[in-house]
Each structure stands twice: as structure tokens, then as C-alpha cells.
Structure 1
Amino acid sequence: MDEIKTLVDKIRQEAEREDFPVDLPIYQGAGKIPTQPILYAGNLDSNICFFGRDLGKDEVAQGQPLIGSAGKMLRKGFYQGVYHQQPSSPEDLQSICDRAILTNTVPYKPPGNKAYTIKVKERFRPFIAQLLAIYWGGNQIVTLGTEAFKWFAPYGPKEKLEEFWQRGDRYEAQLPITLEAVDFQGTKHQRQVSLLPLPHPSPLNKRYYAKFPQMLQQRINQFEF
């Protein structure tokens, strides 16, 4: 865990090096330091990763990714899929962190509900890549939404990812890629993983919102725990 603490410290140092858009009122209202990253929640020894776009106000307040309305829908569905019963308490929803990790393209909350620019994502990419390729031990990544899936574009032939994304069965199929990261000593690391995309479970996503629980269950049936 000392290595993860170092990673978090390095992210904070990068955030303090040069300004970038952060939703300051949300951090101030929650009594949180805006440059302190909320990198992940969950078990680094798990085989499953849920990968979202960025943080919301609930995530800032509670200090972990995917804990707002969309995240709770995800957690509820995952709990049902794993334990074959309805969660009955906040502790039940939190318990999925024993079986997965949850993280995002950027460990900060952007102003409003707008996605971070490519420039900001690339600035923090090396740290997220380290988390996934070095410190996490799994190999199945469920991406939530277009922004989350396309974050992985550098780790495979561009035409291959675009072709996959245009497939009608992209929310049932899997895409193997090779994650790459460089640690703070300059050593390169690689990790073979599979992407299992899903739409983002947001109420604003009218096309897929009602279908998301069933789509998630189909993905859970593909998991190797």
C-alpha cells in the first residue's frame, strides 16, 4: 500500500504543478482538498474493474468513485449478480468493493457535468495506467460509456478499436488489449486485459438507462472471478 500512497502523492503533485478545471464549489462544500485525487475504491487483488468517466458531487463527498445515482445502480446490479439477492443496506452496496475496483479516466471532478478535455486526460493518463497495469491484479475492465471506452485507444490499433465500437454487439462482445505503463523508476510494464463495454447508467442516457440492469447482468455472466 506504500506504493499506492506514492502514486496518489504523485498525482496530487501533478495537480498542484499547473492549474486545470476542477469543480471548486463542490470540493469546498464537501470540505475536501481539490488537488487530492480520488483514485479508486475496491480490492486491487480482484479480477474486475469498473471504469467510468470522472467524478460527480457524491463521489467527491464520499471519497470514492461510482457512488452517486449511476454508481448505486451499478453497485446494486453487481451485488445482485454476485450474491443472487437484493442489497438491503449501504453496507451491502459497499461490499462490492471486495470483488472489484472502481476508477475513472481522471481522478477529479470537472466543473458542471462536462467531460475533461483530451489534454487533461492525457496529463493524468500515466497515473491511471500505472494503477491498472502495475497495481491492480485483474484482467477484465467494464468501461461505462463512450468516453471511458475510448480512453483505451492508445493500447490497441486505432482501426481495431473504432471497428469494435461500431459493432452492433459491442455491449456483449469483448476486446483484448495490452495496457502499458512506466513506473517511477522508468521500468515499462504490460498487462493483457479485456474490455467489456457498457453504456453509462445515467438517467440522461435515455436510450440505455432502462436496459442497463439487464445488460449488466449479461456482463456479469461473462466474468471470471
Structure 2
Amino acid sequence: MSDLETLIVQIRTEAEREIFPIDTGVYKAAGKEPTQPILYFGNLKSQICFFGRDLGRDEVYAAQPLIGAAGTLVRQGFYEAIYKKKPKTKKDLETVGDRAILTNTVPYKPPGNKAYSIEVKERFRPFIERLLVLHWEGNQIITLGTEAFKWYAPYGAKGEINKFFLREDRYEAKLKVTLAATDEQKMTHKREVTLLPLPHPSPLNQKYYELFPQLLQERLNEFEF
């Protein structure tokens, strides 16, 4: 069993250790085991990570993060930045996984569209840390929405994340933080990453939904593809 497979088993074991809210109806309809995590999609050798809040219905069916309405906007924008043309098929959108990883604060779908509690996020934080520090090789993280960005609060100076998020230029500015993860031998590993926050691209986010494609392209213009 690979280290990554071990991590996925550990996440499932934690999920089965104590009950927490999972939208079991969606998992059963999709023919998926509710406690099997949908941890990430993409290339762990890539430099870019798209980091969302949690899974939705479409993500459960596809067993991939960020593939519903909001995730499709992200994938379309990333595809256009790479290939300088619009994607025509779902297969085109799948190719973004060659150049990035897509993941979330919690690798499960909560009931309805309600965010997971702080307690649930903290239960699964050590596993997301291991994914980002021990398995992923990149250092550029595009966070999608307030909760995804504020997940990184423990890695900055006290109050730094909240202060940054109050800035008017928060969707243009960058912030460096140092992630830390503990391995199987209880050794701590660290990695400096750059956070590039964006608003959540949900159709329900009326303030930013129309602006999101342009904001994403401005972020991606900083990279060479």
C-alpha cells in the first residue's frame, strides 16, 4: 500500500470513528460509500492547487472535487489560461488535472449546502495537511471562498489571515504562510506556500459570480503555462 493509499484509509477510519454529518442519501444514490473520502483530483507534481470548501452532489457522483457548477467555472477558466481556447467537452475539462490538484477543507459532502462545523474541519485538518505537505509537490494555492481561505489561519501570524481578508485588494494580493504536517514517525514537515484567494464561484454568490472568470484569469496570468 502506498503512502497516499494509507492516508486515504486513515481518513476513512477517522470518518468511521465517530459520527458526523454526511449527506448519505446522495452517496447511496451515487452508489458510493459515504465514509470513503474523495480527497483530491489531479497531478500531485503540479505547482497549483485549487482549494474549495467541501463536496457537492456532482462531486460525489464524479468522485472528484470541483466538478459541479462552481467547479466547472474553475476548470473552464484554467483550461482557457493553459490552452488559450475554450473547452468543448467534459474530457477537455478533465485535462486540467494534468496541471493542478483540486481539493477541499473536508473530503466529504455535508447535508444540504451547509458548511461543516469548525469541529469537523479540525478532525480532518491533519489529513489535508499531509496531502498538501507530504504528497503534493507544489506551492501555489488558489483558495475559493471565505471558508477555504480562512482554513489557513493556523499557519499565519495571529490574526494575519483575517486582517488580510479585510483588504480591498484581497483578490489581487498574495499571502505566504508555512504549512506543517506530521508523518507516521511523528516527524514534522513544513512547506511555505503562497495563497491566492478568490471568491467562491457559486451561482448563489451574486456579488462575485459574474466577476469570477475575470478574477480567475487575472490570477492565472501570473503563471507561465
SS at match of 2:159: helix
CA RMSD in angstroms, aligned pairs only = 0.9
Give the drift of 1:224: 5.3
Cα shift at 1:141:
0.2
The 3-state SS of whatever aligns with 2:71 is helix
Rounded to whole Å, the distance in 2 between the matches of 1:161 and 1:222 is 22
Question: Does residue 203 of structure 1 match 2:193?
Answer: no
Q: Distance in 1 between matches of 2:2 and 2:21?
A: 29
Count of aligned positions? 225
Match in the other structure for 2:15: 15
Equivalents in 1 of 2:185, 2:202: separation in Å? 39
Taking the aligned partners of 1:33 and 1:180, their CA distance within structure 2 comes to 30
Name the structure 2 match of 1:115.
Answer: 115
Equivalent position of 1:75 in the other structure = 75
Distance across 1 between alignment mates of 2:56 and 2:160: 31
Secondary structure at 2:201's aligned position in 1? coil
Q: TM-score, normalised by structure 2?
A: 0.98
SS of the equivalent of 1:184 reads coil
1:145–1:197 CA contact under 8 A, matched in 2: yes
2:178 partner letter: T
TM-score, reference length from structure 1: 0.98
Residues 140, 223 of structure 1: 8 Å contact kept? no
Distance 1:182 1:88 in 2: 42
Separation of aligned partners in 1, 2:28 and 2:57: 11
Quote the sequence identity (%): 64
Contact 2:70 2:202 in 1 (8 A): yes
Unaligned runs of 5+ in 1: none
Shift of 1:11: 0.2
Residue matched to 2:125: 125
Is this contact kept in 2: 1:139–1:193, CA < 8 A? yes
Pair 1:46-2:46 in alignment? yes
Whether the 8 Å contact between 2:153 and 2:159 is mirrored in structure 1 is no
Structure 1 residues 19-38: aligned runs within 5 Å: 19-38=19-38
Equivalent residue letter for 1:193: V
Tell me which amino acid in the other structure corresponds to 1:16: E
Q: Deviations over 1:43-97 (max 9, x none)?
A: 0000000000000000000001000011001100110011100101111100000
Q: Which runs of 5+ in 2 are unaligned?
A: none
Distance in 2 of aligned mates of 1:59 and 1:80:
22
Which portions of structure 1, spanning 4 or more consecutive aligned residues, are displaced by more than 6 angstroms? none
Give the SS at the match of 1:158: coil
Tell me, in whole angstroms, the C-alpha distance in 2 between the residues paired with 1:160 and 1:10. 31
Identify the residue that residue 192 of structure 1 maps to in structure 2.
Answer: 192
